[in-house]
């Protein structure tokens, strides 16, 4: 009963100055809401990064041909570099932990159909490529082993290339021309849209699948070859690459790191040329999870500053309240109130401010996801060009409420209220009753 009476008196005292109490509550409200919002946004960014890395496959190893330093290139001729088909065969035969191995060759080319042209990436691959890169067929079928073995002139289009070249007709069975080679390919399949893959440190840039045209790698080797020549006036330069990438899938995720070490040892001959890189998504996924914890701690500290400011606001208001109520404190002490009663009175008022601010902050915090999604949709509809120019993480990330952030934020707000209300409460309790009664 004593605590209920103390609580009732505290609420009545705060309601005597509603605007001042509201502003004090606002400080705690902003602090709690910011803790939940910032942690939700950081969790959303982390989830998106991990999703992109996982889309590469945690059980895969990617070996990529990279252009060597300029001092190792022939400025006036064709420089052979990168992965070779013989190395692909060697890896498949000598590494027992492999489940699948896919050789890949990529060339930038123009694709045409009638009077429509698309600049994109010609990708020579095997049937396993679709499964490893999570490509799904919308119409028709992907490249088969038989088509690759026969070196058939067939192709599979990405959804975006199909929409650009065949906006009003079904592309299956139609012809796509490659004017650079005076060659053409018959469409056997169209893929579903595929999101871009994540960048892999310094080893690989983020990869887009929107402008791809896929053909059997044996067909590419026969019809186009390994040499790409670029002319500039009277001079020319070029490159000779047999394979741009070899993607290896390992039987068990536990064997990924050991297999990657074997691959690096097997390809030591490239160290002098510096023309390959090995990327292991599993290692990057582990790094991303560690970074997530560091990022959340940092964001939490930033948000905690808002709570600290709110706590300072509570102390400021409570000190002003003590000064205003000096005579009241003196009367209560004269009527027999003990120091602990005075301390309890002012601590209850500080706690009420913190609890109200914490509860309203939590209510605002849980609306983080719908608020950001609605704001993003509004901006997309009102300013589409501005939205399109923003980074993918801004356009695609979805905040994810961290369940632990709600009790943590509320608990911190309550502790902040009590801690910052303690000094004014003790100061009030230690007043000399005689001097307090004389206060005007």
How many Å apart are CA 357 and CA 276, to the nearest integer?
57
pLDDT tens string 121-169? 999 999 999 888 888 999 999 999 999 999 999 999 999 999 999 998 9
**Beta-bridge partners for 111:** 118
How many Å apart are CA 359 and CA 105, to the nearest integer?
58
- DSSP assignment of 6-55, as one string? HHHHHHHHHHTSHHHHHHHHHHHHHHHHHHHHHHHHHHHHHHHHHHHHHH
pLDDT of 334 > 50? The answer is yes
- In what order do the strands lie in the sheet containing 78-80? 78-80, 235-240, 227-232
Is residue 73 within 8 A of residue 216, CB to CB? The reply is no
Q: Which of 7-11, 328-332, 375-379 has the lowest mean pLDDT?
A: 7-11
Radius of gyration of the chain (CA): 33
What pLDDT sits at residue 317?
Answer: 73
pLDDT tens string 306-320? 677 777 777 777 777
Q: What percent of the chain has pLDDT over 70?
A: 74
How many Å apart are CA 311 and CA 417, to the nearest integer?
6
* CA atoms within 13 A of residue 146's CA, in its CB half-sphere: 1
Q: Map out the domains of the chain as residue ranges.
A: 2-53+287-366+401-438, 60-251
| Residue 371 phi, psi (nearest 5) | -65, -45
202 confidence band (pLDDT: 50, 70, 90): very low
pLDDT of 186 > 80? The answer is yes
198 confidence band (pLDDT: 50, 70, 90): low
Token digits of residue 135: 């490509």
Is residue 186 within 8 A of residue 175, CB to CB? The reply is yes
pLDDT of 13 > 60? The answer is yes
pLDDT of 203 > 60? The answer is no
- Residue 147: name the closest of 61, 220, 235, 236 by CA: 220
Is residue 239 within 8 A of residue 66, CB to CB? The reply is no
How do the residues of the chain divide into helix, strand and coil, expressed in percent and rounded to 5? 55, 20, 25
Give the angle subtended at the CA of 41 by the CAs of 37 and 44, to the nearest 5°. 140
Is residue 123 within 8 A of residue 212, CB to CB? The reply is yes
As a whole number, the mean pLDDT across the chain is 78
Is the model more confident about 273 or about 317? 273
Is the model more confident about 294 or about 219? 219
What pLDDT sits at residue 235?
Answer: 57
Is residue 188 within 8 A of residue 204, CB to CB? The reply is no
Q: What percent of the chain has pLDDT over 90?
A: 21
pLDDT tens string 385-434? 777 776 666 666 777 787 777 887 788 777 877 777 777 777 776 766 66
Which 3 state secondary structure label does DSSP give 104?
A: strand
Is the model more confident about 323 or about 177? 177
Give Cα separations from 84 to 109, 222, 241, 268, 386 (angstroms): 22, 16, 8, 13, 44
What pLDDT sits at residue 166?
Answer: 93
Which of 197-206, 284-293, 361-370 has the largest mean confidence? 361-370
What pLDDT sits at residue 436?
Answer: 54
pLDDT tens string 40-93? 877 777 776 666 655 556 678 888 888 888 776 665 567 788 899 999 999 999
pLDDT of 117 > 90? The answer is yes
Token digits of residue 25: 């509550």
pLDDT of 183 > 90? The answer is no
What pLDDT sits at residue 362?
Answer: 86
């Amino acid at each position: 009963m004593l605590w209920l009476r103390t609580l009732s008196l505290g609420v009545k005292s705060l309601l005597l100055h509603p605007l001042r109490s509201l502003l004090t509550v606002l400080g705690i409200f902003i602090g709690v809401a910011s803790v939940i919002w910032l942690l939700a946004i950081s969790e959303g960014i982390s989830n998106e990064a991990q999703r992109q890395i996982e889309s590469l496959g945690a059980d895969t190893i990617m070996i990529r041909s990279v252009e060597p330093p300029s001092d190792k290139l022939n400025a006036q001729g064709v420089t052979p570099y990168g992965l070779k088909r013989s190395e692909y065969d060697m890896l498949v035969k000598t590494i027992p932990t492999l489940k699948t191995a896919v050789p890949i060759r990529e060339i930038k080319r123009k694709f045409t159909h009638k009077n429509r042209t698309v600049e994109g990436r010609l990708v020579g691959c095997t049937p396993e490529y679709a499964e490893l890169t999570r490509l799904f067929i919308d119409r028709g079928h992907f490249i088969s082993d038989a088509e690759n073995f026969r070196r058939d002139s067939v192709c599979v289009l990405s959804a975006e290339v199909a929409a650009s070249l065949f906006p009003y007709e079904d592309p299956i069975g139609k012809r796509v021309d490659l004017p650079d080679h005076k060659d053409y390919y018959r469409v056997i399949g169209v893929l579903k849209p595929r999101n871009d893959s994540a960048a892999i440190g310094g080893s690989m840039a983020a990869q887009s699948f929107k402008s791809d045209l896929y053909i059997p790698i044996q067909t590419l080797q026969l019809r186009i070859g390994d040499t790409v020549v670029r002319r500039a006036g009277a001079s020319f330069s070029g490159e000779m690459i047999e394979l741009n990438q070899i993607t290896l899938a390992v039987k068990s995720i536990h064997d990924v790191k050991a297999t990657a070490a074997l691959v690096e040892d097997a390809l030591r001959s490239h160290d002098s040329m510096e023309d390959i890189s090995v990327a292991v998504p599993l290692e990057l996924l582990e790094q991303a999870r560690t970074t997530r914890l560091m990022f959340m701690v940092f964001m939490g500290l930033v948000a905690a500053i808002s709570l600290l400011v709110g706590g300072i606001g509570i102390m400021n208001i409570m000190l002003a309240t003590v000064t205003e109520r000096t005579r009241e404190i003196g009367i209560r002490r004269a009527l027999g109130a003990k120091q602990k009663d005075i301390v309890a009175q002012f601590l209850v008022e500080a706690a009420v401010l913190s609890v109200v601010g914490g509860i309203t902050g939590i209510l605002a915090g849980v609306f983080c996801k719908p608020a950001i999604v609605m704001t993003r949709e509004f901006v997309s509809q009102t300013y589409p060009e501005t939205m399109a120019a923003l980074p993918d993480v801004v356009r695609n990330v979805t905040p994810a409420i961290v369940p632990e952030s709600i009790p943590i934020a509320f608990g911190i707000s309550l502790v902040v209220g009590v801690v910052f209300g303690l000094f004014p409460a003790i100061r009030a309790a230690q007043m000399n009753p005689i001097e307090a009664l004389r206060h005007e």
